[in-house]
């Protein structure tokens, strides 16, 4: 579903939501007045709201000129054709580039250095669509007419070139899923996840042990006594005791 265009809603309502987004998502924002006066992201959005209305009513040149002036003032370049929802927060903002056919849903957050860029020189939908509540980390590049699903997160400095599922976190170049997609509102949250390598026997250590046992058997030596500082065979576990090792040898 394409997010609605804020230009179809009340300008004042949208401005209120944009201002509230700064207060909610910028812990450094001192208050309403400070946010209004000192937020380049908010200034860029206000400028864009006007420029986009001009663009839609056919005033292409004044719209482009306005966007150009706002870019000079804020360091944020938003093409007047871009459709941006309400409650969007552009933090810091310097170096943000939002291309002509980009669509940004409600309550999205973009940090400085984000590019919503095109990969085609044709006049077609060539920039990303961000569904509602997407967070795009500093310096991330999202390229082409891709869709970033609702509640997705894009890691700082990632390069995203394909669709991102709803609720996913993607990182890296090219961006890949950082972990399994959790349903929105999952109480596990982003901070405590099971490490899949914990509790799994280290296959390299296991093979080395086997080889060592074979060599000792071929040389007619008794099985090696484990030493106390030996690495655990299972990550997250404790090193095996001598009795445990003897027992496992007896079994094999
Ligand atoms: C991606 C991000 C949203 C974190 O999401 P999360 O769901 O909490 O993910 P985690 O922190 O658990 O990290 C998941 C994995 O991705 C890795 N990762 C996190 N951010 C990454 C990034 N930007 N680039 C590459 N890898 C990253 C972590 O190291 C971890 O790897 P591991 O599983 O091998 O240990 C966050 O790291 C991020 O980049 N936020 C942007 C914030 C920003 O730009 N702030 C600017 C303020 S001025």
Question: Are residues 34 and 144 located together in one domain of the fold?
Answer: yes
DSSP string, 78-131: E-TT-EE-SS-EE-S-TT-EE-TT-EE-TT-EE-TT-EEE-S--SSS--S-EE-
What CATH number should be reported for the domain holding residue 59?
2.160.10.10
Give bridge partners of residue 153 from the DSSP assignment. 135, 169
Write phi, then psi, for 17 (nearest 5 degrees): -65, -40
Question: Are residues 75 and 20 located together in one domain of the fold?
Answer: yes
Q: Please enumerate in sequence order all residues whose Cβ is within 8 A of that of 95, keeping only pairs 6 or more positions apart, or say none.
A: 75, 76, 112, 113, 114
Out of 27, 89, 134, 137, give the residue to mutate to test ligand 1, the one with the largest number of ligand atoms within 8 Å of its CB.
137
Residue 153 located in a structural domain: yes
CA of 171 to the centre of ligand 1 (A): 7
pLDDT at 192: 36
pLDDT at 190: 42
Token pair listed for 177: 């899923």
Question: Are residues 73 and 12 located together in one domain of the fold?
Answer: yes
Residue 182 located in a structural domain: no
For ligand 1, atom 16: residue with the closest CA? 178
Token pair listed for 169: 């976190």
* 162: number of Cβ within 10 Å: 12
Locus of tokens 């007896």:
250
Q: How many domains are contained in the chain? A: 2
Out of 133, 169, 197, give the residue to mutate to test ligand 1, the one with the largest number of ligand atoms within 8 Å of its CB.
169
Question: Are residues 110 and 228 located together in one domain of the fold?
Answer: no
Residue 193 located in a structural domain: no
CA of 172 to the centre of ligand 1 (A): 9
CA distance 89 to 23: 10
Give bridge partners of residue 116 from the DSSP assignment. 98, 142
CA of 156 to the centre of ligand 1 (A): 7
Q: Are 165 and 147 in contact (CB under 8 A)?
A: no
Mark residue 179 as left, alpha or beta (left: phi above 0; alpha: psi -120 to 50; beta: remaining): beta
End-to-end CA distance of the chain: give it in Å, rounded: 59
CA of 53 to the centre of ligand 1 (A): 36
| Pure H helices in the chain | 11-25, 32-38, 40-56, 60-74, 203-218, 242-251
For ligand 1, atom 14: residue with the closest CA? 178
Could you tell me the CA-to-CA distances from 77 to 22, 119, 218 in Å, in that order? 19, 17, 72
pTM, rounded to two decimals: 0.75
CA distance 41 to 38: 9
Question: Are residues 121 and 221 located together in one domain of the fold?
Answer: no
Q: Choose the final residue of a domain: 143, 162, 177.
A: 177
Point out the residues of the chain with pLDDT beneath 50: 187-195
| Ligand 1 and 159: CB distance under 6 A | no
Could you tell me the CA-to-CA distances from 248 to 217, 225, 252 in Å, in that order? 16, 13, 6
pLDDT at 233: 61
CA of 182 to the centre of ligand 1 (A): 15
Per-residue DSSP letter, 7 = G
Q: Are 249 and 226 in contact (CB under 8 A)?
A: no
- The domain in which residue 222 lies consists of 203-251
Residue 196 located in a structural domain: no
pLDDT at 252: 58
pLDDT at 157: 97
Residue 187 located in a structural domain: no
Q: Choose the final residue of a domain: 177, 192, 226.
A: 177
Q: Please enumerate in sequence order all residues whose Cβ is within 8 A of that of 143, keeping only pairs 6 or more positions apart, or say none.
A: 115, 117, 118, 119, 128, 159, 160, 161
């Amino acid at each position: 579903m394409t997010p609605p265009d804020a230009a179809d809603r009340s300008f004042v309502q949208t401005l209120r939501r944009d201002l509230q987004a700064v207060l909610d998502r910028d812990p450094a924002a001192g208050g309403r007045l400070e946010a209004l006066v000192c937020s380049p992201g908010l200034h860029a959005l206000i400028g864009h709201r006007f420029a986009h209305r001009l663009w839609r009513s056919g005033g292409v040149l004044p719209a482009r000129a306005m966007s150009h002036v706002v870019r000079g003032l804020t360091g944020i370049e938003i093409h007047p054709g871009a459709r941006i929802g309400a409650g969007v927060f552009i933090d810091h903002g310097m170096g943000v580039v939002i291309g002509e056919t980009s669509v940004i849903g409600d309550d999205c957050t973009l940090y400085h250095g984000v590019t919503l860029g095109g990969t085609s020189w044709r006049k077609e939908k060539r920039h990303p669509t961000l569904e509602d509540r997407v967070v795009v980390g500093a310096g991330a590049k999202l390229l082409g007419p891709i869709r970033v699903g609702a509640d997705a997160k894009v890691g700082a400095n990632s390069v995203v070139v394909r669709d991102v599922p709803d609720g996913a976190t993607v990182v890296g170049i090219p961006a890949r899923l950082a972990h399994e997609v959790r349903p929105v509102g999952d109480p596990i949250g982003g901070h405590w996840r099971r490490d899949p390598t914990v509790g799994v026997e280290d296959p390299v250590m296991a093979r080395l042990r086997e080889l060592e046992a074979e060599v000792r058997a071929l040389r007619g030596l008794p099985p090696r006594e484990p030493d106390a500082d030996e690495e655990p065979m299972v990550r997250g576990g404790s090193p095996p005791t001598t009795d445990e090792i003897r027992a496992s040898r007896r079994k094999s």
